[in-house]
Amino acid sequence: MSYVATTLIRTTATFRTVAGVLSNTTAVCTVKAPDGTTSAPSVTNDSTGVYHADVTLDQAGTWYIEWQGTVTVIAAGDTAISVRKSYVDV
């Protein structure tokens, strides 16, 4: 999926124990913009084991989003997002 620059997205993460049970953790979201700068948006705990962070994609290029959890659950996951400058860049 690709987005247009200036789009606000909500990225989510779900953390489970090895047994598959939803579990709260210390969740951290790290975002790397196409220019190489990184940020850590504010993370919200929506319910047990479920978290979200809102990110404004303000540059065209490939963005990387990584979630990490510690404490009762140790986990990590990442994704890449493609962002266009405008709708006409399709």
Other Cβ atoms within 10 Å of 74 Cβ, number: 11
Tens digit of each residue's pLDDT (9 = 90 or more) over 35-80: 999 999 999 999 999 999 999 999 999 999 999 988 665 566 778 8
Tell whether 16 is covered by a domain: yes
27 in a structural domain: yes
Tell me, yes or no, if the pTM score tops 0.85: no
For the CA atoms of 18, 20, 23, 28, the dihedral, rounded to the nearest 10 degrees, stands at 70
In a domain, 11, yes or no: yes
CATH number at residue 61: 2.60.40.10
Q: How many domains does the chain have?
A: 1
Percent of residues in the chain assigned helix, strand, coil, to nearest 5: 5, 60, 35
Task: Please give the residue range of the domain that contains residue 44.
Answer: 2-85
Q: Within a domain: residue 90?
A: no
| Two tokens, residue 58 | 């303000």
